[in-house]
């Protein structure tokens, strides 16, 4: 296939160099965006009398046909074309003749690709937001079912204080709500059209960039043409938002993996989301959760790769920038798959309340409540804290727990202790008394659920 620039060249491009240079194998994903952008551009060119109405009509009709043929599979990408932009233009010209050759007036592939990537990322990120919302909704349902399932809350992976499983799950829901916020913020900032920046300096034609921007649902235009073609910040911002979402999924995965181990047995993942071992018949492995945790690394890697690619680039377009697409596409597809498998994995997991409760009974996780008991009876917190520390040490030595230590033993530490201490340090009381805003009691969980579900509705 003859190159568009063949006129200036005496020789042809080496075959291997041609393959190396080509991006159509991956940027063809943006064919819808490329075609939509070209339609808006053609309409603007004719509105501004840069091309005739007849030519614009032919171009738009031709592009519509190409779009539907690609959608239906009637038309295949020609991998001999360097990229999706060249492919669409060549196909259009083959179909409608000379009018097709007018489409590229007053634009460059540099602003075209910047436009396509923005349009593509906008669509795909909105899909990721929907998937994240689905996950949040699944988490909310699980949390509601388990708002009275008592488990140990941990710090340093040491049992710390009793909480409910519902409360623990809703911590993740809050993280994913923020993740959506980060994606939406980035979308807002990037929703400006670079088209019309042309190669780098703008154009001598009397274009109407605002018209194109409006037709493509942008909030406005990029105001500097050099910036318009050089900027890939929006890729970085989104990839960073995706990375944080992956980090949250990865922490959640890690907990799921721990909780489903024989050592914890707090949950059991459904057969649909676990695998067996080829040699050990007893095994049930949390592969999906592990893969999500593992794939987090590649999403971080994509972000680092593009940051590094961009850091030394002079303005404006450099071919290095073609590297943006594989990185950001891979991050999108990875996050998409992770979210898609994660939501049903959480929806179908079984919760072993008994084991959670049993774990909560060990580890003196009601010790803070015992100290608070003494504070209510008039002791300063630090003194109460010290006494309870001594009682815990005594329990450990006697191989017993706070709930079973007899009252006389308590009284030996402080006369303030009475029989009511036992109800005060029961796990149920410990949880239900955490009434501070955002705490683990059932009323707080209800209010968290209400807050998050309201967010999902808007
Ligand atoms: N395939 C190119 C990319 O993805 C399109 C822009 C090409 N521009 C150029 N001047 N070579 O970045």
- Regarding the beta carbon of 317 and ligand 1, being less than 6 Å apart is answered yes
What residues of the chain score a pLDDT lower than 70? none
352's CB contacts (< 8 A; 6+ apart) are 265, 266, 267, 268
Q: How far apart are CA 128 and CA 69, in angstroms?
A: 27
Confidence (pLDDT) at 280: 75
Q: Is 100 helix (H, G, I), strand (E, B) or coil?
A: helix
Q: How far apart are CA 390 and CA 10, in angstroms?
A: 90
All domains of the chain, ordered by start, with CATH? 6-105 (1.10.275.10), 110-147+163-204+218-354 (1.20.200.10), 362-457 (1.10.40.30)
243 has catalytic annotation: no
Confidence (pLDDT) at 8: 83
Ligand 1 pocket mutation, candidates 110, 121, 229, 313, criterion most atoms within 8 A of CB: 110
Asked whether the beta carbons of 85 and 28 are under 8 A apart, the reply is no
Confidence (pLDDT) at 153: 96
Listed as own residue / partner, the contacts of 398-405 with beta carbons closer than 8 Å and 24 or more positions apart are 401/361, 401/362, 401/364, 402/364, 402/366, 402/367, 402/370, 403/361, 403/366
- Regarding the beta carbon of 111 and ligand 1, being less than 6 Å apart is answered no
Alpha helices in 191-286 (DSSP H): 209-215, 225-230, 233-259
pTM confidence score = 0.95
- Regarding the beta carbon of 113 and ligand 1, being less than 6 Å apart is answered yes
- CA 321 to ligand 1: nearest atom: 12
| Structure confidence by residue, pLDDT tens digits, 318-361 | 999 999 999 999 999 999 999 999 999 999 999 999 999 999 99
Task: Please state whether 49 falls in left (phi above 0), alpha (psi between -120 and 50) or beta.
Answer: left
Question: If we measure between CA atoms, which residue out of 254, 202, 249, 267 comes closest to residue 229?
Answer: 202
Give me the sign of the Cα torsion angle 156, 161, 165, 168.
negative
Q: Which residues pair with 161 in a beta bridge?
A: 153
Q: Which residues pair with 193 in a beta bridge?
A: 221
Asked whether the beta carbons of 153 and 440 are under 8 A apart, the reply is yes
- Ligand 1 centre and the CA of 304: distance in Å? 21
440's CB contacts (< 8 A; 6+ apart) are 153, 162, 163, 164, 167, 431, 434
Confidence (pLDDT) at 7: 83
- Ligand 1 centre and the CA of 23: distance in Å? 8
Measured at the alpha carbon of residue 334, what is the angle toward residues 330 and 339, in degrees to the nearest 5? 150
- Regarding the beta carbon of 225 and ligand 1, being less than 6 Å apart is answered no
Question: If we measure between CA atoms, which residue out of 271, 369, 328, 398 comes closest to residue 122?
Answer: 328
Inter-axis angle of helices 109-145 and 442-457, to 10 degrees? 150
Q: How far apart are CA 363 and CA 357, in angstroms?
A: 12
* Ordered DSSP codes for 129-154: HHHHHHHHHHHHHHHHHTTT-EEEEE
Q: How far apart are CA 107 and CA 195, in angstroms?
A: 7
Q: How far apart are CA 82 and CA 3, in angstroms?
A: 9
- Regarding the beta carbon of 38 and ligand 1, being less than 6 Å apart is answered no
Confidence (pLDDT) at 9: 84
- CA 85 to ligand 1: nearest atom: 5
Ligand 1 pocket mutation, candidates 317, 320, 326, 327, criterion most atoms within 8 A of CB: 317
């Amino acid at each position: 296939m003859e190159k568009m620039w063949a006129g200036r060249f005496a020789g042809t491009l080496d075959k291997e160099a041609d393959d190396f240079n080509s991006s159509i194998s991956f940027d063809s994903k943006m064919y819808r965006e490329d075609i939509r952008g070209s339609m808006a551009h053609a309409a603007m060119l004719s509105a501004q009398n840069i091309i005739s109405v007849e030519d614009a009509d032919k171009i738009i009709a031709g592009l519509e046909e190409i779009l539907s043929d690609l959608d239906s599979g009637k038309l295949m990408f020609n991998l001999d074309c360097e990229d999706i932009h060249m492919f669409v233009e060549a196909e259009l010209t083959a179909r409608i003749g000379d009018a097709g050759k007018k489409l590229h007036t007053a634009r460059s592939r540099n602003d075209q690709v910047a436009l396509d990537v923005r349009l593509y990322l906008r669509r795909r990120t909105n899909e990721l937001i929907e998937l994240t919302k689905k996950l949040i909704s699944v988490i909310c349902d699980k949390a509601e079912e388990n708002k009275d399932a008592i488990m140990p809350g941990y710090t340093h992976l040491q049992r710390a204080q009793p909480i409910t499983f519902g409360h623990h799950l809703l911590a993740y829901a809050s993280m994913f709500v923020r993740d959506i916020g980060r994606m939406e913020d980035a979308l807002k900032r990037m929703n400006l059209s670079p088209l019309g920046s042309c190669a780098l300096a703008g154009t001598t034609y009397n274009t109407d960039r605002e018209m194109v921007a409006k037709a493509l649902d942008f909030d406005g235009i990029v105001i500097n043409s050099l910036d318009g073609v050089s900027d890939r910040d929006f890729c970085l911002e989104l990839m960073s938002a995706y990375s944080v979402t992956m980090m949250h999924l990865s922490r959640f995965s890690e907990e799921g993996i721990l909780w489903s181990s024989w050592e914890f047995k707090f949950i059991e993942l459904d057969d649909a989301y676990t695998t067996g071992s080829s040699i050990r018949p007893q095994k049930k492995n949390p592969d999906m959760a592990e893969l999500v945790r593992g794939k987090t690394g590649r999403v971080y890697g994509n972000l680092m790769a593009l940051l590094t690619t961009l850091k030394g680039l002079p303005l404006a377009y450099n071919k290095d920038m073609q590297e943006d697409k594989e990185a950001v596409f891979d991050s999108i597809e990875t996050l998409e798959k992770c979210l898609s498998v994660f939501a049903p994995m959480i929806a179908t997991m079984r919760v072993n309340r008994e084991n959670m409760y049993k774990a909560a009974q060990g580890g003196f996780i009601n010790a803070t409540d015992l100290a608070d008991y003494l504070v209510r009876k008039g002791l300063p917190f630090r003194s109460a804290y010290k006494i309870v520390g001594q009682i815990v040490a005594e329990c450990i030595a006697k191989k017993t727990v706070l709930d079973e230590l007899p009252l006389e033993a308590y009284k030996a530490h402080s006369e303030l202790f009475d029989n009511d201490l036992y109800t005060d340090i029961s796990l149920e009381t410990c949880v239900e008394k955490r009434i501070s805003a955002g705490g683990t009691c059932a009323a707080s969980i209800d209010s968290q659920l209400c807050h998050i579900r309201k967010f999902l509705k808007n």
